[in-house]
Every structure is written in C-alpha cells, then in structure tokens.
C-alpha cells in the first residue's frame, strides 16, 4: 500500500512541478462573461463565478507583465491588484494592493491563485482565481456592486517581484472600465420553434446641440400576427459612434387606438411631451411598460418561463419608444438611428412578464443639497396600491430582475421589500455608475404578496456641488427609481412617493405658502415677510448647507409624511385616485443583520512575502513528498 501511495504522490509531485514551471494554453470552455477592456481590443478578459469563487483569464497583446485591479472609484489608491507574467516558460502571479500612484507593493496574504499561464510571440495568457471574500483588509470584496476594473500592461517582464527591478511603469497602456463582475445575465438558448425579429429604430434623428438632455419619441405599428406571441429577447442596436449619446430607452405598449398618428417611415419622430408631439401619443403612457434598457446593459434575455405578450388584443397594436439622448458637451451634427431589436415567438412561455417602476416622484421638490457626502432620498410603493393591483390579478407576483436608476450624484442605490414586518434587500449597488445601467437578474425570485411594501433608496454624494440639485428629467438633475422585471404581469405601471412639500420648505424657514396648481404646482410663499417675494428655489438655495445640515435635512424628511400614488394601465379597474395617500409615514420594517463571514473564519495564513505563486507549486510538491515519506515509515512500522 505504501508503494502505491508513494507512486501516486510522485506522479502528483511531478505534475505539480511541471505545472509550476510551464503552463499550457487554457480553453475557452466554461466562461460565461467576456469584455474587451481597452478600445483597441488588446486586453481581453474572460471570467466565470460561483457562490464562492471567481475565475479570470486575461489574454493580452504583450509579452511582458499584465495587471488587473479592482478599484473603489477608478483610481489606483485603495485598489486590489494582481500582476502576472510569463518568463522563461514559467508563469508568475503576485497579489498586491495600491496605496498610491506607484508600484503596488506585494500583499502579505497571497489570495490570488495561479491556475495556468503561457505566452506566444504576441500574447500573454494568464488564468487565475480568488475567493469572493478573502477577509484580507487589503483585498476588495467581489460582490454584485459595480466594479471599476483597472487594466495595464508593459512589454517587458520584471526581473524581480518588487523594488527597482519589479514591474516598471506601464506608461499609456492602462485604463479603467466599469462592469458588473457578478452579473447573472442570461445567455440566449436555442429555441426549438420559430422566432421572428422586429427592429424599432429611430430615423436619422438630429440630436439637439443646445441642451444636454433630449427625450425623443417615435411610434411603431406592430405586425398583425393573428395570435398571441411572446417577446423573449430585446437587444440594443446603437449607431456606431453614438454609444455615449444613446443613454437609455423605455418602450410602452400603447392603449388601444386604431387611429393613432403614425408618422411616415422617413419621419424622425418628435421630442417627447413637447407641443410638436401628437396628442394621441400621450395615450401610450397609459398602456403598459414593455421594457427598460440602460447604457451598458447589453441584451435583455428573458428566462425560459416568461415572455412579454404582443398581439394579445389587450393593449392595441402600437409601441412608443422613448429614447434619452445625453449630450453634455453640446456637440453638434450628431445623427442617430439607434434602437432595439425584439425577438418574438409564437411558442408561448408559461408566464407573461412585465415591468413597473418604484421610486421618488420626478419633480423639483426632490432636493439634494450641496456639500453632502451621503445624502439619502427614499421613495416607496405603499401597500394599499400593491394590494389593490395584486388582488385584481388574483395571485402574487415574482420579481426576477431589477434595474437601479439615478443620475450623476448617485453612489449607493438599493431596493427593499417589507413582508410581514421584515425588511430584506432585493438588489443593491454600493458603487453605482450612471453609465452602466444593467438589469440585474436575481439569484432567487422574490415573491410580493398583498400587504407588502417596496422601498427604493438612493444615497448621493454632492460634496463637489455648491448649489442644490433638484429632481428632473435632465442628466444634471436627479432621479431615484427602480425598474422591476416580474411575472405574471399585472396592471400597475408606476408606484412612487415624495416627502410632502410642506416639510421640505419649512426646513428652509418657510412658515406658510400656497400651491399654484395652475402653474405646475409652484409654491407661492406667504410668510415670513422677508421670504414673500422669493421663489421656491431661491429659498432652498439660501439655506446654509453643510454636510451636517444636509444630514439633518435627510433625517427631517425621513421622519416627515409622504405623498404617495400609483397608476395602472387603461385595462385596470383599480380606482387609483382612492389609493392616493397625502400624508403617509415612511414604512419601516425589521432589518435582519447580515452574517459577517469574516468574523466566523480564522485569520488567513499569509503567503510568502514578496514571492510569486509560481513558487507555491514547488512548495506543495515538497509537502506531498514529505507526506509520502511519513506514510512509508508508518507502513514499515506497522509491518
């Protein structure tokens, strides 16, 4: 037995030593995600993950060192970095952390594990993995937040791991990219039946150059299919060069109107909700929300048990596409023909999918003060609204995905469910990026029952601002919303709230005022006397805002009363006017404390300081050989 054991150990030892010296190429199989980190496609990153680990493969056009980092904000300080290279046939990998814009020192705890690596005449390929949570304070936790991934390379291998002979400065070969590493995106599977596609495209729209934000609308007639079909995928089609301008899309299925205005094919459409937009297009907003897509989101593929219904004789045969064009540089001469491609099939899925919105009502009474590092705004869908539409449906709904949405000041977003008094997080992002708005597919479906409440929370950083930011549609304005993807589809489209105006203006010193309903709900101040001739915004700007004052304002609003409302599609029989709540308290549930994984584990044993994981394979071989010798001795003694 000892002979067999030692022979096995010798084979494992020899294999370990060989793989520590010379690695072979890794195959593509098994990787679920892939991104080109640089614009020229020289740094290709592949990865996959499970509940515990993430595995990367970096394929980089260089024969020198390769670096990958996880940054809190896109900069180098505070980043968790791994640098590797292949030299004389041996692959090396070092776990590092960055304290400044300088060569990152080697981490005492080597948590990145080298799996394989090789180079040819043009490329270096390294495969490595790591636990999602290492409990090393110098490592960043890899979770469902937006990650700023740093990338860099150099054409020379380092002579040593660190110091003067360590990795030299990368020069211009570096950058950062926001991505969702743990995005549970669905991959389109082969469909046994027939599928068709419908392109909804803008037609050579001249993006205005006199303002940074434009909402543009166009109505499309659905094909006459003769029976119900299911949309199973929606993919963006972006005009080359307009990737940063074509910011997000909302598609509405219009309520029934066979005489709706259809513009000629060559017509570009109209600015949304402007005097030029046909009046009957407003009826599309009373239909149902088909889908929401945001910049960086990629394809939206529905799970195999859901699809969005079209030609079902409920909402008519027309779609309105609303596109948000973002042009902060006020560039002129931008023409756009972007849109989406909808894939649909007559082979019906088990459930109809839908989308609804929860958040803060979008208007100027949503206030984010300046000089705030962590100002909190909240909106909610009251339980009365949810209950009414769920009872009309006759069953609970299941949330399968969420798209979190704010604008430039948003840094931490989350959405929560209160069920039977217990408050749980559905989705969150503590590192939000306005230019990466994915629909996050949930690991587990979340069931919403009558009596439940949904909450949407946004935390803003306005430390660099000197003036108040107000809610609005423009990119410089703010929003706080979540788009829920769910099934089975019910008739509620939107459910939002806002702190009562009375509490907002009284914090600024207003004693009494009147609402001018015929003037866009403007505020006319009647006391105190020195504020009578001031506008609402002048009063809010006059507050001596500071970080402490902003925090007091946030707490003041959270403890005030809220106006809440909901709206449904034209097919609903729910009396939404009766569900309006002019003075609702902010809903609160019992929050369960998340388990601290690191407090339950022992302190990780540090790896070799200043050493690469290429050495660890040799050390492992030594330990295995020692184990063989011990087994051999024990076997001799037993005989």
Least confident of 488-497, 550-559, 616-625: 616-625
> Cα–Cα distance between 426 and 482 in angstroms, integer?
11
Q: 544-564, pLDDT tens digit by residue? A: 999 999 999 999 999 999 999
Question: Same structural domain for residues 294 and 421?
Answer: no
Q: 27 is in which domain, residue-wise? A: 2-183
pLDDT of 439 > 80? The answer is: yes
| pLDDT range class, residue 618, cuts 50, 70, 90 | very low
Q: What angle do CA 179, 180, 186 make, to 5 degrees?
A: 120
One DSSP character per residue, 421-462 reads TEEEEEEEETT--TT----EEEEEEEEE-TT-EEEEEEEE--
CATH code of the domain in which 470 resides: 2.60.120.230
CATH code of the domain in which 123 resides: 2.60.40.1210
Query: Does residue 518 lie in a domain region?
Result: no
Which among 351, 386, 401 is the end of a domain?
Answer: 351
Question: Same structural domain for residues 346 and 450?
Answer: no
Question: Same structural domain for residues 178 and 264?
Answer: no
Question: Same structural domain for residues 591 and 448?
Answer: yes
pLDDT of 337 > 80? The answer is: yes
Q: In 3-state terms, what secondary structure has residue 308? A: strand
Q: Supply the DSSP symbol for 327.
A: -
CATH code of the domain in which 230 resides: 2.60.120.310
pTM: 0.84
| pLDDT range class, residue 190, cuts 50, 70, 90 | low
Question: Same structural domain for residues 581 and 563?
Answer: yes
Q: 229-281, pLDDT tens digit by residue? A: 999 999 999 999 999 999 999 999 998 888 899 888 889 999 999 999 999 99
Instruction: Provide the pLDDT for residue 626.
Output: 36
Question: Same structural domain for residues 431 and 362?
Answer: yes
- Domain tally, the chain: 3
* Torsion from C-alpha of 299, 303, 305, 311, nearest 10 degrees: -10
Question: Same structural domain for residues 410 and 558?
Answer: yes
Question: Same structural domain for residues 333 and 370?
Answer: no
Query: Does residue 447 lie in a domain region?
Result: yes
Residue 489: burial class (beta carbons within 10 Å; 0-12, 13-18, 19+): buried
| Token code pair at residue 515 | 């609402």
Question: Same structural domain for residues 172 and 275?
Answer: no
Q: Compute the mean pLDDT over every residue in the chain, rounded to the nearest whole number.
A: 86
Query: Does residue 383 lie in a domain region?
Result: yes
Q: Which residue has the higher pLDDT, 213 or 188?
A: 213
Strands 590-591 and 422-429: parallel
Query: Does residue 626 lie in a domain region?
Result: no
Query: Does residue 587 lie in a domain region?
Result: yes
pLDDT of 27 > 60? The answer is: no
Write out the catalytic residue numbers: 215, 405
Which among 132, 161, 183 is the end of a domain?
Answer: 183
Query: Does residue 606 lie in a domain region?
Result: no
Question: Same structural domain for residues 308 and 389?
Answer: no
pLDDT of 633 > 50? The answer is: no
Question: Same structural domain for residues 118 and 94?
Answer: yes
Instruction: Provide the pLDDT for residue 488.
Output: 98
User: Whose structure tokens read 């029952």?
Assistant: 449
Q: Supply the DSSP symbol for 334.
A: -
Contacts of residue 135, Cβ cutoff 8 Å, sequence gap at least 6: 597, 598, 601, 603, 604
Mean pLDDT within 386-393: 98
Instruction: Provide the pLDDT for residue 164.
Output: 76
pLDDT of 189 > 70? The answer is: no
Question: Same structural domain for residues 133 and 218?
Answer: no
Query: Does residue 502 lie in a domain region?
Result: yes
């Amino acid at each position: 037995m000892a002979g067999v054991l030692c022979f096995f150990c010798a084979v494992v030892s020899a294999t370990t030593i060989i793989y520590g010296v010379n690695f072979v190429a890794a195959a593509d199989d098994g990787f679920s995600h892939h991104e080109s980190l640089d614009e020229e496609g020289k740094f290709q990153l592949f990865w996959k993950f499970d509940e515990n680990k993430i595995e990367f493969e970096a394929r980089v056009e260089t024969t020198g060192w390769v670096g990958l980092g996880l940054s809190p904000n896109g900069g180098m300080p505070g980043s968790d970095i791994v640098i590797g290279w292949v030299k004389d046939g041996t692959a090396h990998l070092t776990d590092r952390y960055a304290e400044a814009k300088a060569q990152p020192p080697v981490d005492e705890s080597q948590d990145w594990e080298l799996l394989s690596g090789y180079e040819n005449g043009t490329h270096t390929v390294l495969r490595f993995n790591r636990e999602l949570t290492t409990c090393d304070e110098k490592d960043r936790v890899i979770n469902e937040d937006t990650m700023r991934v740093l990338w860099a390379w150099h054409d020379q291998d380092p002579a040593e791991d660190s110091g003067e002979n360590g990795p030299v400065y990368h020069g211009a070969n570096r950058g950062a990219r926001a991505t969702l590493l743990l995005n549970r995106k669905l991959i389109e599977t082969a469909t046994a039946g027939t599928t068709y596609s419908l392109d909804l495209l803008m037609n050579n729209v001249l993006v205005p150059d006199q303002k940074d934000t434009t909402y543009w609308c166009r109505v499309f007639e659905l094909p006459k299919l003769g029976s119900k079909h299911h949309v199973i995928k929606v993919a963006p089609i972006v005009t080359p060069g307009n990737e940063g301008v074509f910011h997000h899309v909302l598609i509405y299925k219009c309520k029934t109107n066979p005489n709706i205005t259809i513009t000629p094919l060559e017509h570009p459409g109209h600015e949304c909700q402007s005097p030029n937009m046909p009046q009957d297009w407003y009826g599309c907003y009373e239909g149902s929300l088909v889908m929401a897509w945001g910049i960086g989101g990629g394809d939206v593929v529905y799970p195999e048990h859901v699809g969005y219904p079209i030609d079902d004789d409920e909402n008519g045969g027309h779609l309105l596409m609303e596109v948000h064009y973002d042009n902060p540089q006020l560039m002129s001469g931008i023409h756009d023909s972007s849109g989406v491609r909808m894939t649909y099939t007559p082979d019906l899925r088990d459930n109809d999918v839908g989308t609804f919105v929860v958040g803060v009502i979008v208007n100027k009474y949503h206030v984010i003060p300046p000089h705030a590092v962590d100002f909190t705004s909240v909106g909610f869908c009251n339980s009365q609204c949810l209950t009414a539409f769920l009872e009309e449906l006759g069953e609970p709904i299941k949330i399968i995905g969420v798209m979190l949405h704010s604008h430039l000041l948003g840094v931490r977003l989350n959405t929560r469910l209160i069920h039977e008094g217990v408050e749980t997080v559905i989705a969150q992002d503590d590192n939000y990026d306005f230019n990466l708005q994915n629909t996050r597919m949930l690991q587990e479906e979340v069931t919403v029952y009558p009596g439940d409440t949904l909450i949407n929370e946004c935390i803003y950083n306005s430390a660099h601002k000197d003036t108040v930011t107000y809610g609005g549609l423009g990119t410089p304005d703010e929003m706080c919303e979540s788009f829920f993807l769910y099934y089975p589809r019910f008739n509620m489209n939107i459910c939002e709230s806002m702190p009562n105006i009375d509490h907002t203006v009284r914090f600024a010193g207003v004693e009494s005022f009147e609402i001018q309903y015929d003037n866009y709900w403007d505020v006319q101040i009647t006391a105190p006397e020195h504020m009578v001739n001031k506008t609402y915004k002048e009063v809010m700007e006059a507050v001596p805002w500071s970080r402490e004052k902003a925090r007091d304002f946030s707490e003041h609003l959270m403890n005030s009363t809220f106006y809440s409302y909901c709206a449904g599609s034209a097919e609903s029989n729910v009396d939404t006017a009766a569900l309006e709540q002019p003075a609702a308290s902010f809903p609160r549930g019992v929050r369960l404390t998340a388990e601290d994984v690191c407090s339950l584990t022992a302190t990780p044993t540090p790896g070799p300081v200043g050493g690469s994981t290429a050495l660890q394979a040799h050390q492992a071989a030594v330990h295995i050989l020692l184990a063989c010798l011990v087994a051999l001795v024990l076997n001799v003694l037993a005989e």
